[in-house]
Structure 1
Amino acid sequence: MSQMQNPAPPALSYAAEEFPQYQAHYSAPPVPAVINPSRIFTAFVQAVKIEVDPELREKYWIEVRTAEEKRYNAKQILKVHNKLKRESLEREIQRIRIINKLPSAYGVETNKQHVFDDSVSSGPLFFDACDDKISYKLSNTRLGSGGGGTVDIGLQTTQDPHTKRVCAIKTISYHDIPNKAWDGYNEANIMYAVNGHSHFLELYTCANDPDLSRVYIAMEYLHAMDLLTWKQHLTASSTSTSTASPLDPAHSSFSFSDPWLCHIAKHTLTALDFLHTQLGLIHRDISTKNIMMDQHFRVKIIDLGLVRRVETPEYLGPVGVRAFMDQQAFEKQMWLPSADIWSLGVVLMHLRWSEEYNFWEGTNDVVIAAWTDVTLRALSKLSKIKGKAGHFLRNCLKEREEQRANACQLLRHPWIIGLSKHPFSNKSTP
């Protein structure tokens, strides 16, 4: 059967060497001379369904509805389908490049030998899991640090030398503060309780080294960035005056739009609803630093070291980053699930309606004042946010904690439902 060549989208050859896995996408495949419009339309709909970028998915569901209403012919459908494929590819490459800017994450999976080289002068550390059949090796590649401890890239090995898995290992030192050992065990117990939930990191094991006064927590390694780092990169890209190619790392065509925010809110609320309702727990440290998102838009809450039970409202002390704290909880020194909802609302305001800023480490007055100032300026814009998004945020950020919606109620909010469902009717295909 004769074939006609489908017009290829603009060449992406300048990315071919860097991303050879996408070689098949650089040119459109030939299209048969005799084509079935229904099959072409079905393929387009399927491509929209599996698109991971929430903004693109919402955009092209509108295209699906337009194609359906105007009864596009096969060539028209192919044209818009190819446009989706190109935009999807461009954005995925952008996301990969942004994430790979992190030196601690770049090349780990493909360069285990270098990362875990025994000749490293500071000496990598080994510890065994309880069953003695699995051991863990700590690298010198730091992923993060904070008041709770440090997190480094690790390697999980078994008796089979060919079975190795990259992981993250949190080290909690309790040499000067013996009670911190309990904090480590508590965090491991919480991680064990949420194991298997898609919005939390998987726990592998927990081990104690009394000689070094350290607790180790080995967990899933997520090749991702926290939301603060995403914002910093996207803000820098959007303010760039670069005239380079759209796939250049200095250029970005996406930002924290409504679909992105809705996606983050929905998945974070799903995790919080599980914590609050199923387990009776409060996170107490929701911030832009403790929500991770990878290039495939998988969202996970991290750092469960401050999680406590709902039924223990006794004095718990100030926790987390002050700028994200519920003021009522801070004043009473008592945390309820509504405090996590307030913190999520502040996170969303920071992502969309605050200016570029850095993460100021520390707890001194200058740092607290800087963070608080950013939050106050973001919250000052709350009354100007219209529509369903504004109504949703105001439900998260009510001053009186008893008036705030809970996670389950917010998951049913029209803003979440409206941006999550597909605007696609049941009419027959063209």
Structure 2
Amino acid sequence: MSTGPPLFNVPNTKRSNPNKLPNLSIPVPPVDTNHNPHPQPRKLPPIDFLKVNGSYSFTPDTISPSAAGQVRPSPDGYGGLTPELKTPNMLLNPSDASLNKDIADLTPEDWNVIANTNQIMELSKLGEGNGGSVSKCVLKSNPKSKVFALKLINTDPNPNIQKQIIRELQYNRSCDSPNIVKYYGTFMVEKQSMIGIAMEYMGGRSLDAIYKRVIEIDPTNRINEKVLGKMALSVLNGLNYLHQQRIIHRDIKPSNILLDSQGNVKLCDFGVSGEVVNSLATTFVGTQYYMAPERIMGKPYTVTCDIWSLGLTMLEVATCKFPFQGTGSGGSDDLANLGPIELLSLILEYEPKLQDIPQEEIYWSDSFKNFISYCLKKNSDERPSPRQMLGHPWCVGQQSVQVRMDKFVKRLWGDLE
């Protein structure tokens, strides 16, 4: 039986001109199998991402028809914190059983009481948008307890829809992957008709904030390809885990990929049905920038839609600008001048690619460029699944590269709490 053409066609050649990667490179110690907290650093050998051994055949990954009803897309948008949640003068009753629980062990009933009796204290604002905000918080009863992120979402006032949202978001608590943000609880803030989501605090911030910080430090700088490799691997592992759970993320973009203070990369914002997404206060215009071409043409979501969005995300983070920016005569103002129809047409017609910038001495490996090109296959039938992309030669090569992601985060943000 024919296995079809090779899945990843990466030239088995070396560049005569060595790549000059961006200068956010961090020397790292070797992996210590004895768990020595102070391993001796060593100089890493050069990695040739262009050496390819063997071939890769394409066998589409699909979700079985019986699982179609379990596919859960993602919401987007933040709600603003209410005055009640900000007021610092109301503490938990010492007899409350939730005082003795870890945040991860609080039940939905615990969270409902905590949220509606003003027992959450905001430490700082993490982000705001048209739909509201997300904040860094602790429980007032124990300020030394685990810090968490609190997102509040404006939603439909219909009680039945609110219950459906909470019920579906509660599923996120069952997800257990090092590449998925932990969800602690979902609840209704009754006075404001807002959905609250308590989740793992990610101090390293989003890829969106990270690449903007990189060019803030040095406009000629870019994130090192080794660091990008760890980011891509983590996202693919997270997507592969979700796929195994019969979940399609449906909202992969830089702002939904987060790093913690140790540099671990995790996905957030997934887990509700399409009907529920329509009832949330979402920033749809921002989301459609990352929409796969087949979705624009009205075809159903598949796991390869997430791969398209990952390709655009990695291209944006590598180049420090949105891939469709500056594709017309309007330069960097193109997106602002485009209407929804023009933007969707641009996504269908334009083919974004990762390119070197010789005048700035920025070069990327051919293998990384090939990785991006496979993510951005216009034909969804030719676009690999997350599991298949983990077998791409660039990903395979990145698995053996050691990167101190904690030092990368510290380089950007300094010491984090």
Paired residues of 2:374 and 2:383 also in contact (CA < 8 A) = yes
List 4+ stretches of structure 1 deviating above 6 A: 47-51, 123-128, 369-378
Instruction: State the partner residue of 2:373.
Output: 394
Query: 2:262 is matched with which residue?
Result: 296
Which residue identity does 1:303 align to in structure 2?
A: D
Q: Distance in 1 between matches of 2:271 and 2:344?
A: 23
The match for 1:381 among 353, 359, 362 is 353
Matched, 1:153 2:133: no
Question: How many percent identity over aligned positions?
Answer: 22
1:46 to partner: Cα distance: 5.2
CA distance in 1, matches of 2:143, 2:286: 41
Q: 1:376 to 1:49 in 2, by over 3 A?
A: farther
Match of 1:261 in 2: 228
- Structure 2: distance between partners of 1:377 and 1:296: 40
Q: Residue 235 of structure 1 is aligned with which of 192, 215, 225?
A: 215
Closer/same/farther in 2, CA of residues 175 and 279 from structure 1, 3 Å limit: closer
> How do 1:2-401 and structure 2 match up within 5 A?
45=30, 60-62=43-45, 118=88, 130=108, 132=110, 135=114, 136-139=119-122, 141-146=124-129, 150-156=133-139, 161=142, 164-174=145-155, 176=157, 181-182=162-163, 184-185=165-166, 188-194=169-175, 196-239=176-219, 255-276=222-243, 278-304=244-270, 321-332=287-298, 334-355=300-321, 379-382=351-354, 387-401=366-380
Query: What TM-score do the two structures reach when normalised by structure 1?
Result: 0.56
Distance of aligned partners of 1:328 and 1:182 in 2 relative to their CA distance in 1, 3 Å threshold: farther
Deviation at 1:166, TM superposition (A): 1.7
Q: Which whole-Å CA distance do the structure 1 matches of 2:34 and 2:319 have between them?
A: 29
Partner of residue 71, structure 2: none
Structure 2 length normalisation: TM-score? 0.57
Output the CA distance in 2 between the equivalents of 1:50 and 1:319. 47
Q: Which runs of 5+ in 1 are unaligned?
A: 1-42, 52-56, 65-114, 241-253, 310-317, 424-430
- Contact residue 201 and residue 219 of structure 1 kept, 8 A: yes
When the two chains are superposed, the root-mean-square deviation of aligned CA atoms in Å is: 4.7
The answer (yes or no) to whether the contact 2:242–2:248 under 8 Å persists in 1 is: yes
Extract unaligned runs of 5+ from structure 2. 1-27, 48-84, 99-106, 276-283, 326-331, 357-363, 403-417
Mapped partners of 2:184, 2:148: distance in 1: 9
Counterpart in the other structure of 2:15: none
CA contact (8 A) 1:266 1:411 kept: yes
Q: Secondary structure at the match of 2:397?
A: helix
Contact kept, 8 Å, 2:125 with 2:133, in 1: the verdict is yes
Q: How many residues align?
A: 295
| Higher radius of gyration, 1 or 2 | 1
Q: 1:153 offset after TM fit, Å? A: 2.3
Structure 2 CA distance for partners of 1:217 and 1:346, relative to 1, 3 Å: same
The one-letter amino acid of 2:317's match is L
What's 1:412 paired with? 391
For the 8 Å contact 2:353–2:369, the answer to whether it is kept is: no
Q: Which shows bigger deviation, 206-215 or 129-138?
A: 129-138
CA 1:46–1:146: 2 relative to 1, 3 Å: same
